[in-house]
């Protein structure tokens, strides 16, 4: 009994350990060795926690926390890291990878040595090349050195290889086109024309002391600058590499005209959007809740169920339906409007109307939630308060002002702030309904006039017309993080939730 139990325990610890080592390796590769090491230490701690009897409760927690670490906390940390880099189209590889790639490039120097060649094949299909210079020396390549093996004509047989006749030789040429046979001193033998190999030289060489690359073809030094190796004449060598750029992405948001104009517009619209839509939804929700909070109201149960339906339908479906209904030319809404008042509203073509459409559709999506929480809060207000007020002769309006509203707001205040945060990041509504459109006519940017920060981030990272800009996208994510965190702290502060939950639960 005890033995099997221990076996399970060690098996469990072993699995967590293996996952830990594996992900440390991956995270180390993506984000740098520090993160890999950190994750390794955490998973090592987890393994100890599992085995050690004193930390018994952690046995229940480790699986959930491992998942959360990899797929939630790590992406947050990594986002912060990306924000300080130039990661994006043109800057995907690491510097080491770019250097490796450049150092593979070769060029034909002014006075190369030319060799004709013969192709040999053995019975197993292995291929061998021999080379002949202009004096008739025949060479084989051994350990990066050209060694003379014959003089005069190519032999018909060499070791266990047999020569291929001329016409068969050219069928193999495809194999040699990208072949680089390394010799000493950074020289390579490469095919120069169909009949000849020539000595090519390695074109670029990295000089670690100077953090520069030397170009032997043009005899110039390329310095590493802003994610590129740059020639003295200012030309950047493609591809660029990922590099830390410090606060540059943050500065771009405010100082770089191409980015800052659109960013500031998106930023202010995000606040307007979240504030207006939240208040609108709660105003309507409260109105309906007040109407329904009447014991004598007929069909109350049915009304409630029917009014809650927009909440029950997956939002993406409703949003896609609304896009069709609001179609400017042939949508049902405009057809009804034009038959009644003779006007077709350009719902998605005009900024103001697109915003109205967003408010209306989000009202449709959001009022059931607002109504439900208002109703719940109203019902929790003790009846005696109203009776006492009646006895004192307070009017209906007075009761509402002095009893209902204050008590209601204390109960739902934190939820209003929470809804604000939710709408602040309500990607689905914006992206699926308007897609951020219409575009900003006066600036060249991926952002449209109805884009909010989170949809702007998405476009920068995954839909950029001029390539992806992960660095800038991550930077905007961080700004969103900060705003949401500030809102949440404010929320705890006004509601005292945090103290209550941590202390008593």
Instruction: Say if residues 288 and 311 touch (Cβ distance below 8 Å).
Output: no
Which segment (124-132, 137-145, 200-208, 312-320) binds another protein by CB under 8 A?
312-320
Spatial CB neighbours of 359, under 8 Å, sequence gap ≥ 6 = 276, 277, 280
CB of 454 to another protein, least distance (A): 7
Q: Which is nearer to another protein, 305 or 395 (CB)?
A: 305
The residue from 181, 431, 433, 451 that contacts another protein (CB under 8 A) is: 431
Instruction: Say if residues 417 and 491 touch (Cβ distance below 8 Å).
Output: yes
Spatial CB neighbours of 451, under 8 Å, sequence gap ≥ 6 = 266, 269, 430, 436, 459
Q: Total residues at the site for another protein (CB under 8 A)?
A: 101
Closest CA to 141 of 106, 109, 179, 170: 179
CB of 95 to another protein, least distance (A): 17
Cα–Cα distance measured from residue 87 to residue 459, given in angstroms and rounded to the nearest whole number: 15
- Span 353-372, contacts to another protein by CB under 8 A: 364, 367, 369, 372
Closest CA to 307 of 285, 283, 328: 285
Contact between 157 and another protein per CB under 8 A: no
226's tokens? 């802003």
- Span 35-64, contacts to another protein by CB under 8 A: 55-61, 63-64
DSSP assignment of 380-441 equals TS-HHHHHHHHHTT--HHHHIIIIIHHHHHHHHHHHHHHHHHHHHT-HHIIIIIITTPSBPS
Contact between 94 and another protein per CB under 8 A: no
CB of 193 to another protein, least distance (A): 39
Cα–Cα distance measured from residue 326 to residue 362, given in angstroms and rounded to the nearest whole number: 14
- Span 454-493, contacts to another protein by CB under 8 A: 454, 457-458, 461-462, 470, 473-474, 477, 480-481, 484-485, 488
Contact between 325 and another protein per CB under 8 A: yes
- For the four alpha carbons of 340, 342, 348 and 352, in that order, the dihedral sign comes to negative
The residue from 415, 433, 446, 447 that contacts another protein (CB under 8 A) is: 415
Contact between 328 and another protein per CB under 8 A: no
Instruction: Say if residues 354 and 437 touch (Cβ distance below 8 Å).
Output: yes
Q: Which is nearer to another protein, 101 or 379 (CB)?
A: 379
Q: Which is nearer to another protein, 60 or 397 (CB)?
A: 60
Binding marks (x or -) toward another protein, 192..231, rule CB under 8 A?
Answer: ----------------------------------------
The residue from 79, 94, 114, 260 that contacts another protein (CB under 8 A) is: 79
CB of 477 to another protein, least distance (A): 5
Which segment (36-44, 208-216, 393-401, 450-458) binds another protein by CB under 8 A?
450-458
Cα–Cα distance measured from residue 351 to residue 447, given in angstroms and rounded to the nearest whole number: 13
Q: Which is nearer to another protein, 59 or 231 (CB)?
A: 59
Binding marks (x or -) toward another protein, 373..412, rule CB under 8 A?
Answer: x--xx-xx------------------------------xx
The residue from 67, 148, 179, 264 that contacts another protein (CB under 8 A) is: 67
466's tokens? 């001029």
User: Which residues are paired to 189 by β-bridges?
Assistant: 181, 199
């Amino acid at each position: 009994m005890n033995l099997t139990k221990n076996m399970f325990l060690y098996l469990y610890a072993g699995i967590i350990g293996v996952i830990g080592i594996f992900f440390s390796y991956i995270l180390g590769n993506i984000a740098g060795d520090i993160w890999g090491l950190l994750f390794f230490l955490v998973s090592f701690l987890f393994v100890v926690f599992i085995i050690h009897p004193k930390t018994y409760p952690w046995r229940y927690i480790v699986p959930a926390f491992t998942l959360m670490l990899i797929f939630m906390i790590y992406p947050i940390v990594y986002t912060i890291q990306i924000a300080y880099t130039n990661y994006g189209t043109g800057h995907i590889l690491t510097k080491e990878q770019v250097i490796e790639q450049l150092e593979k490039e070769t060029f034909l120097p002014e006075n190369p040595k030319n060799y004709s060649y013969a192709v040999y094949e053995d019975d197993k299909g292995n291929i061998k090349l021999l080379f002949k210079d202009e004096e008739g020396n025949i060479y084989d390549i051994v350990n990066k050195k050209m060694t003379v093996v014959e003089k005069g004509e190519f032999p018909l047989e060499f070791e266990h290889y047999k020569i291929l006749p001329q016409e068969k030789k050219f069928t193999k040429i495809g194999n040699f086109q990208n072949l680089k046979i390394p010799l000493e001193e950074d020289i390579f033998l490469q095919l120069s024309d169909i009949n000849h190999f020539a000595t090519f030289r390695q074109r670029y060489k990295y000089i670690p002391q100077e953090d520069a690359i030397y170009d032997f073809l043009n005899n110039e030094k390329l310095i590493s600058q802003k994610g590129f190796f740059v020639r003295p004449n200012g030309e950047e060598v493609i591809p660029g590499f990922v590099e830390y750029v410090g606060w540059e992405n943050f500065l771009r948001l405010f100082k770089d005209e191409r980015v800052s104009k659109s960013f500031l517009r998106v930023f202010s619209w995000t606040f307007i959007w979240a504030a207006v839509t939240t208040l609108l939804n709660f105003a309507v929700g409260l109105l309906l809740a007040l109407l329904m909070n009447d014991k004598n109201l007929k069909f109350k149960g049915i009304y409630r169920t029917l009014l809650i339906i927009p909440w029950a339908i997956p939002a993406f479906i409703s949003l896609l339906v609304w896009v069709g209904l609001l179609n400017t030319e042939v949508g049902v809404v405009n057809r009804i409007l034009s038959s009644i008042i003779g006007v077709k509203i350009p719902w998605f073509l005009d900024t103001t109307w697109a915003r109205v459409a967003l408010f209306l559709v989000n009202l449709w999506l959001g009022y059931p939630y607002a109504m439900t929480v208002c109703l719940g809060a109203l019902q929790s207000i003790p009846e005696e308060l109203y009776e006492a007020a009646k006895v004192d002769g307070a009017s209906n309006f007075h009761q509402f002002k002095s009893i209902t509203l204050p008590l209601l707001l204390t109960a739902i205040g934190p939820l209003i702030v929470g809804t604000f945060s939710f709408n602040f990041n309500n990607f689905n509504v914006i992206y699926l309904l308007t897609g951020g459109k219409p575009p900003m006519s006066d600036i060249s940017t991926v952002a449209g006039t109805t884009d909010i920060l989170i949809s702007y981030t998405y476009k920068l990272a995954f839909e950029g017309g001029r390539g992806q800009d992960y660095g800038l996208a991550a930077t905007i994510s961080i700004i969103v993080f900060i705003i949401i965190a500030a809102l949440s702290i404010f929320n705890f502060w006004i509601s005292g939730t945090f103290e209550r939950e941590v202390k008593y639960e």
